[in-house]
Amino acid sequence: MKKPISVLISLAALLLITACHRNDIRTEIFQIEQLRNPESVQLIAKALQPLEGIQKITPDFENHELIVVFDGRVVYVKNIEYAIVAAGFSLPNWPANPADKAKLPEELR
């Protein structure tokens, strides 16, 4: 009688452990009108560097989009948006602070 209970407890513990380690890799596309050249990508990458969980950023200069691959268990979309806006880049629903925007090179303002 005790053996089936211990087997069930062990199985439940094993299932719980594996459930906690699921991947949550996400891809988000950010529309950034000021994304025009490699310098803009470097400035955004520098702003995103302190955030853990960012795995890859890919610019699309033609469409003014930045594709960010990140671990959703470590960093949230709002954290990424905040870092982009704090670097002086505007998002469609979140304009950059004029003081932050003024720190950008002239061609990116």
H/E run at residue 54: strand 54-60
Per-residue pLDDT tens over the stretch 50-62: 999 999 999 999 9
Per-residue pLDDT tens over the stretch 2-35: 667 777 777 677 666 665 567 899 999 999 999 9
Mean pLDDT of 79-107: 96
Evaluate if residue 71 carries a pLDDT over 70: yes
For residues 87 and 49, the answer to whether their CB atoms sit within 8 Å is: no
Residue percentage of the chain with pLDDT more than 70 = 87
For residues 54 and 73, the answer to whether their CB atoms sit within 8 Å is: no
Mean pLDDT of 40-47: 97
Structural domains present in the chain: 23-108 (3.30.70.100)
Report CA dihedral (45, 24, 91, 39) to the nearest 10 degrees: 20
The pLDDT of residue 2 is 60
The pLDDT of residue 20 is 57
The pLDDT of residue 97 is 96
The pTM assigned to this predicted structure is: 0.80
